[in-house]
């Protein structure tokens, strides 16, 4: 979701301000990027004090602080084009973020992780979802599992990680249908349903992510 208030207000400027903290993995033979990772230094009291807000909070905090007193590296995104997925590049970028935190002298990395398979279970609470395991007893979600395999610790869900509050016309453009009643509906690729307030003409999407922490005190 690129439509949160924090994204609109701060994201592009934040990435430009911290250009040295944005990482790109390049295939040297093809001279083509195969993965990117975005992050920002932040000051926080520790992984166990992280709020129920997530991605939006990290962007806002990073912009307000501009690195002053930063003690952690906040991971905003790891992206791998579909053609290059399944090659281990995402986990390479996790390690790159940890290495960057070490080089810069930070205590570790915090990340509001977006579970990749949660969109198939939009009406399941995030608290229940993160307890699911596969037949081998590992975390069910592959992206959360990748983080834990790289040494990350699941701290807690951040229930309001990315919040999009828009007029119904915005959501009608996404869904291609009229929305006229107070109810909720699922959105393709969404992690939870969108709540509709027809009287106010507003649709509210509050995406849950999962705080994962690496490093000292994690």
Predicted confidence (pLDDT) per residue in 187-200, tens digit: 999 999 999 999 99
Phi, psi for 199 (deg, rounded to 5): -65, -40
What is the token pair recorded at 70? Answer: 């930063």
Q: What is the spatial distance between Cα 120 and Cα 118, in angstroms, rounded to a whole number?
A: 5
Q: Is residue 149 classed as helix, strand or coil in its secondary structure? A: helix
Predicted confidence (pLDDT) per residue in 90-139, tens digit: 999 999 999 999 999 999 999 999 999 999 999 999 999 999 999 999 99
> Bridge-partner residues for 166, per DSSP?
203
pTM score, two decimals?
0.93
Q: What is the spatial distance between Cα 32 and Cα 52, in angstroms, rounded to a whole number?
A: 37
Predicted confidence (pLDDT) per residue in 137-150, tens digit: 999 999 999 999 99
Could you tell me the CATH superfamily of domain 5-159+210-215? Gcn5-related N-acetyltransferase (GNAT) (3.40.630.30)
Answer for the pair 78, 90: CB distance below 8 angstroms, yes or no. yes
Q: What is the spatial distance between Cα 51 and Cα 45, in angstroms, rounded to a whole number?
A: 11
What is the token pair recorded at 73? Answer: 């590296």
C-alpha distances (whole Å) from 99 to each of 45, 78, 104, 137 are 21, 15, 9, 29
**How do the domains of the chain map onto residue ranges?**
5-159+210-215
């Amino acid at each position: 979701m690129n439509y949160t208030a924090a994204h609109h207000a701060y994201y592009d400027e934040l990435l430009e301000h911290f250009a040295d903290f944005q990482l790109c993995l390049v295939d040297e033979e093809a001279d083509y990027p195969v993965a990117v990772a975005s992050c920002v230094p932040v000051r926080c009291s520790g992984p166990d004090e992280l709020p129920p807000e997530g991605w939006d909070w990290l962007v806002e905090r990073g912009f307000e602080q501009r690195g002053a007193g930063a003690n952690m590296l906040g991971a905003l995104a790891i992206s791998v084009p579909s053609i290059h997925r399944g090659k281990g590049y995402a986990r390479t970028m996790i390690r790159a973020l940890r290495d960057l935190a070490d080089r810069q002298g930070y205590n570790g990395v915090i990340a509001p992780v977006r579970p990749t398979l949660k969109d198939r279970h939009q009406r399941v609470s995030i608290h229940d979802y993160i307890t699911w395991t596969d037949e081998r007893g590992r975390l069910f979600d592959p992206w959360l599992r990748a983080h834990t395999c790289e040494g990350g610790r699941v701290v807690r869900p951040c229930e309001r990680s990315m919040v999009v509050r828009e007029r119904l016309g915005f959501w009608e453009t996404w869904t291609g249908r009229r929305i006229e009643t107070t109810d909720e509906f699922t959105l393709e690729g969404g992690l939870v349903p969108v709540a509709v307030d027809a009287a106010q003409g507003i649709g509210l999407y509050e995406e849950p992510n999962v705080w994962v922490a690496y490093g000292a005190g994690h």
